Structure 1
Amino acid sequence: MKKPLTIKDIAELANVSIATVSRVLNNNSWVSDKTRARVEKVIQEQQFSPNLLARGMISKKTQTLAIVVSDISNPYFVMLVAQIENESLRAGYKVTLYDTQSANKSSSQGEIIPEENIFNSITDSQIDGVIILGGNIDYNNVPDSYLQELKKLSSAIPVIVVGRQLADVDYSCVERDQSGCVTLATNHLISKGYKNIGFIGGSKSVYITHQRVDAFRNALNNASLQADDNNIVLNNFYLQHGYEAIEKLLAQSEKLPEAIVAINDHVAKGAIRALKDRQISVPEDIAIVSCEYFPGSEYFIPRITTVNHHNELIGKTVMQILMTLLRDEAKSTVPEKIQVSFMPGESC
């Protein structure tokens, strides 16, 4: 049986160094076009296919990315992870998923894994880059231990966060438009003549909740309307919290707001179920809009009026930035905000 060719053999046939072959295999920009063409010609002629381990030993890269997610059962994270994984595979990278279950602490049935431990594990592993989706970085008060480990991680390998940029930590960031989504939803209700409008969902300890509530208040204020604090219920981001928010509003007063802005489609669906159980119809008796689209909401009855954050574009943008970092073309990038769009439905 013919002995398989090695990177050393390819280097000799192309009359270049082993390091140069390695750079070509890893798409390093430090190789001239002429040299790259010569090496690629030899690779094609010899039908050379390097195995992942051999490439990792020479380049110190394993073509492996880590995704750290705070709750893989959340539709937002499911969509985003799927999109990032598709883009990763297209770029020649495999993905290792770390699910901390920290986003829904009160409802989680599994063990909550400290993210600091995961960061340590990634730093000690042969991982080329890290994508962080949610977790402690989303809280108003980020633990010092988390910050310390995040700094260590980002100093060792490229890190990109879908969320916000923290001061004094060197990582790249893709931001979602947390204010614009609420402005679109609230202004839609105002344009239809609603004046007494409530807001439900979200956790007080998470920064996006404050951003969205502030945007809600600002939209009302710009329309010369007043937000009623009694009609703002901040509990959490899941189906049951929409249901519980309606229960709380009814316990406070027999009269509900004319319309409600829900922090996402899950909360909107839970609210609609609670209203249905009390023979209150949407949108005939009360209107509901959502700040964040989840797949499948267009098949719900009534179809949710919502805002699309375009996770497919977020996933592509994350991978574009990460590929730039992995090619050593930049140490970090300025935060990039993904624009949102309104999706009309039947719930208002």
Structure 2
Amino acid sequence: MKKPLTIKDIAELANVSIATVSRVLNNNSWVSDKTRARVEQVIQEQQFSPNLLARGMISKKTQTLAIVVSDISNPYFVMLVAQIENESLRAGYKVTLYDTQSANKSSSQSEIIPEENIFNSITDSQIDGVIILGGNIDYNNVPESYLQELKKLCATIPVIVVGRQLVDIDYSCVERDQSGCVTLATNHLINKGYKRIGFIGGSKSVYITRLRVEAFRDALNNANLTIVDNHIVQNNFYLQHGYEAVEKLLAQNSELPEAIVAINDHVAKGAIRALKDHQIAVPEDIALVSCEYFPGSEYFIPRITTVNHHNELIGKTVMQVLMTLLKDDEQAKLPEKIPLSLFPGESC
């Protein structure tokens, strides 16, 4: 007995996505006349007749969203996922989390899951929408295989990225102010009278680091302060990297900065620990600020002066945009950048 054709078979014969076949079957206006005609021709030629139950399964929303995150142990992602999940539950959606463990490749002891594999898995699953947080999309040089699979995913279901917009790929994007946070932190030090200022943390391969280091250099240039290249240490985003950055500054056997801008609170904490191990007090001997607040930093000694990116607003914004997309509105109105605020502490 010949196996009955499926929607996937029709999609392959018509050279379109499964989602496109679904839209044709459900008379969705999103499909162009030319594409609709091609799909209908294949359906007629193959005498394809989906039963009512199958059609109901196609058109029915599963009320499930996928979140793809590059390291769930990172406090930034923990906060953001929690906010998005809260907003999702309020909107009546369940969340499936995919943790690739790709953000801290050099230090991770876990298996790194190729994001392309996850995109394929999501495409084959009944998922209504996808939220991407970090990963390969954050690198200066994004792998071609990743780009191709991301394009396929975006052609199938609504996708929203918290990060940056890549050209020629159709997804909605919520951007954080990666430059403004550094300007705010650096100017705080400058206004306090510090002149010899360094920058630590981040990875040269990640676009966020490039933007933040550029903003740091611009802030010093605008204040007519000297930029000392040896006082800029780009290694990574975690606690140990703050510690290692200070060790590198000390190993240069040259004059230390009067103040340091850390890329985030984790790096700031690691730096403070390293300075204390060398009997260098913060803020008495050297001042320190952070570009990005992580929960709990207000209980650290000394309390870190840091910049709040307001992840609770980012989470709400992501869901507002995604809900618009899920309602089949072709264009989701994107808000302006989420505002920043400085948390004064005791570290400077």
| TM-score, structure 1 normalization | 0.83
Aligned partner letter, 2:297: S
Shift of 1:226: 1.6
Report which stretch shifted further, 234-243 or 56-65. 56-65
Partners of 2:298 and 2:264 in 1: how far apart?
13
Shift of 1:333: 4.7
Q: Aligned in 2, Cα 1:115/1:333: closer, same or farther, shift over 3 Å?
A: farther
Partners of 2:246 and 2:220 in 1: how far apart?
21
Which residue of structure 1 lines up, in the alignment, with residue 343 of structure 2? 343
Which residue of structure 1 lines up, in the alignment, with residue 96 of structure 2? 96
Q: Aligned in 2, Cα 1:56/1:112: closer, same or farther, shift over 3 Å?
A: farther
Alignment of 1:113 with 2:96, yes or no, is: no
Task: Percent identity, please.
Answer: 87
Alignment of 1:179 with 2:183, yes or no, is: no
**Could you say what secondary structure the match of 1:170 adopts?**
coil
Which residue of structure 1 lines up, in the alignment, with residue 230 of structure 2? 230
Deviations 1:267-287 (A, max 9, x none): 000000000011100000000
| TM-score, structure 2 normalization | 0.83
Aligned 8 A contact 1:173 1:335 in 2? no
Which residue of structure 2 lines up, in the alignment, with residue 306 of structure 1? 306
Which residue of structure 1 lines up, in the alignment, with residue 290 of structure 2? 290
Aligned partner letter, 2:171: Y
Within 5 A, what are the aligned runs for 1:129-140? 129-140=129-140
Within 5 A, what are the aligned runs for 1:191-340? 191-334=191-334, 336-340=336-340
Aligned 8 A contact 1:56 1:62 in 2? no
Aligned 8 A contact 1:68 1:98 in 2? yes
Structure 2: 5+ residue runs without aligned partners?
1-52
Aligned partner letter, 1:84: I
Aligned partner letter, 1:270: G
Partners of 1:261 and 1:200 in 2: how far apart?
6
Deviations 1:23-60 (A, max 9, x none): xxxxxxxxxxxxxxxxxxxxxxxxxxxxxx99972633
Which residue of structure 2 lines up, in the alignment, with residue 16 of structure 1? none
Partners of 1:248 and 1:56 in 2: how far apart?
62
Partners of 1:249 and 1:130 in 2: how far apart?
42
Alignment of 1:144 with 2:151, yes or no, is: no
Alignment of 1:70 with 2:63, yes or no, is: no
Partners of 2:284 and 2:254 in 1: how far apart?
17
Partners of 1:170 and 1:333 in 2: how far apart?
14
Aligned 8 A contact 1:55 1:62 in 2? no
Runs of 4+ with >4 A deviation: 53-56, 331-336
Q: Aligned in 2, Cα 1:152/1:253: closer, same or farther, shift over 3 Å?
A: same
**Could you say what secondary structure the match of 1:97 adopts?**
strand
Aligned 8 A contact 1:171 1:332 in 2? no
Aligned 8 A contact 1:217 1:227 in 2? yes
Shift of 1:337: 1.8
Aligned 8 A contact 1:173 1:336 in 2? no
Question: Aligned residues, how many?
Answer: 297
Shift of 1:243: 0.1
Structure 1: 5+ residue runs without aligned partners?
1-52
Partners of 2:126 and 2:305 in 1: how far apart?
44
Aligned 8 A contact 1:165 1:335 in 2? no
Deviations 1:90-120 (A, max 9, x none): 0000000000000000111110000000000
**Could you say what secondary structure the match of 1:65 adopts?**
strand
Q: Aligned in 2, Cα 1:129/1:113: closer, same or farther, shift over 3 Å?
A: same
Aligned partner letter, 2:322: L
Aligned 8 A contact 1:297 1:304 in 2? yes
Aligned partner letter, 1:263: I
Aligned 8 A contact 2:321 2:334 in 1? no
Aligned 8 A contact 2:238 2:266 in 1? yes
Partners of 1:273 and 1:179 in 2: how far apart?
27
Aligned 8 A contact 1:70 1:103 in 2? yes
Q: Aligned in 2, Cα 1:328/1:220: closer, same or farther, shift over 3 Å?
A: same
Partners of 1:107 and 1:96 in 2: how far apart?
25
Aligned partner letter, 2:328: D
Q: Aligned in 2, Cα 1:209/1:320: closer, same or farther, shift over 3 Å?
A: same
**Could you say what secondary structure the match of 2:175 adopts?**
strand
Partners of 1:333 and 1:55 in 2: how far apart?
31
Q: CA RMSD in A?
A: 1.7
**Could you say what secondary structure the match of 1:337 adopts?**
coil
Partners of 1:315 and 1:231 in 2: how far apart?
35
Shift of 1:238: 0.1
Q: Aligned in 2, Cα 1:169/1:84: closer, same or farther, shift over 3 Å?
A: same
